[in-house]
A and B are shown apart, each in its own frame.
Chain A
């Protein structure tokens, strides 16, 4: 059954879209990621114009993040103050990102930028995660004692900066400048790549801001809601590229998929899960990298007129 998408102006099989939503839902249930990094390239593959794919993914992530944050709020694992600071940076970054996106769209280079961002960030995050989890798996197999954790005392330049604020839920007393910068950076990526940025935000919060792991995911999701929400609005107003029927079908698939994903995830070990996620991230990265590196079959491309 074909569904005509009024904004993308293409007709796509509804079950294919539902399946993409479902697969991404399973993964987000298994790994606790928003899945934006996967859904946007998958939408490219089925022929949705990149601009529409990016804007609509952002809208879809709003829904999945809200559903997850509500669960975290009940468990009190959201640092609302830290979230608000990250958010301030995120909104600025998102606005900057939309401006960059539109500028490059007028130059006809937006596909290149989006693909390059994907290759660089997916490659880095996937590679780090694979190495880290393989190491953890080997450590568990040799049954030796876990390596001693580095003391939290290694406090670097972050603690010298001014404008210090106490973040009670995270148990931190640090300057607001690093969280705002992290937020801005993720906001820019969100607007350009159509992702929530959790895969950048989570490592940044753990390794740069030294936040306790239990509040990281909830807080990251909390600010992702607002950044992707703002991104959706910005794309809707400046480009008219949010496709509602597309978002609704992806959402339905995603919600159902997340159910299965959660129960699959519960049966697997954390290291195995992370290796799988890393391999998946690297596979998407590899496919996009090949597109950039291999000579294309068609040297010409028709772009939207501006």
Chain B
């Protein structure tokens, strides 16, 4: 039922924003994040301007910026006490949850974003998580979603950054998003939304690449594509280190 109403709203909605004709010109401080040996997280600066042909209208403009990491399936375990010890009693598998998700905005999301727009563009953190199938595994799917958001927020993987987008003269905007060090590799989608009265009037999508490079890349690829070779390499290093240590001890003790 809610879907149907949302659909009806979309059919009606386009008439209003089309008139504004505002376009986003976007810049990113980096279009790729390289995970190197000393990688310890990264700051991503997202900035841009609103290009328009007509004069600025009176209704205030709001900006929302989202950055989403690759979506992966997630297992969420619920602990319960069994025979006196705490064990994972119930498990729910979510088919797709972003490994990283940050949403930055000029104002409080519930004030500047309508439910229908959120539903359509999946902007807020809870909307970005696909919950298909969760209901068949547990009686309380919402508890698991809440737990996922709580745990990932605590680790900086999900960030709700309200009022962190600075908007100057309805035209220039910029924000900073901190990427944690334990990122999942892949293509990160950055989206910028312009909103008026809670409706999305313009949207711009781009992607940035997060990759391990150099030694990190080489080891990771080797471990996954040539696991036997990698295993032997690990053993060879261990044997060499053990032998060298023994030889060094002998020299030090005798000398």
Contact = CB atoms under 8 A, between A and B. Distances in A.
Report whether over half of chain A's contact residues are helix, strand or loop; otherwise say mixed: helix
B45 interface: no
A305 B227 contact: no
A63 B80 CA distance: 40
Given A70-B246, A108-B91, A236-B228, A4 B36 contact: yes
7 contacts: A2-B38, A6-B220, A63-B238, A66-B243, A233-B228, A247-B238, A305-B75
A303 B40 contact: no
B85 A7 contact: no
Given A59-B238, A63-B241, 10 more contacts: A4-B35, A11-B41, A63-B239, A64-B245, A236-B223, A242-B223, A292-B86, A300-B150, A301-B76, A301-B88
A258 interface: yes
B39 A7 contact: no
A63 B38 CA distance: 25
Given A4-B39, A4-B40, A240 B77 contact: no
A9 B220 CA distance: 10
Interface in A83-134: 108-109, 111-112, 116
A66 B245 CA distance: 9
Contacts of B143: 300
A109 B80 CA distance: 13
Interface residues of B, number: 62
Contact of B246 (A10, A67, A237, A304): A67
A4 B37 contact: yes
Interface string A236-257: 1110101011011001000100
Nearest to B144: A300
A247 B242 contact: no
Given A3-B37, A3-B38, A64 B242 contact: yes
**A65, A71, A245, A299: which has the most chain B beta carbons within 10 Å?**
A299
Interface in B210-235: 212, 215-217, 219-220, 223-224, 227-228, 230-235
B245 A258 contact: yes
Interface of B: 35-41, 72-81, 84-88, 91, 93, 143-144, 147-148, 150-152, 181-184, 212, 215-217, 219-220, 223-224, 227-228, 230-235, 237-239, 241-243, 245-246, 248-249, 252
Interface of A: 1-4, 6-7, 9-11, 59-60, 62-68, 70-71, 108-109, 111-112, 116, 229, 232-233, 235-238, 240, 242, 244-245, 247-248, 251, 255, 258-259, 291-296, 298-306
A118 to B, nearest CB: 13
A292 B80 CA distance: 11
Contacts of A236: 223, 227-228, 230-231, 234
Nearest to B35: A4
A248 B241 CA distance: 9
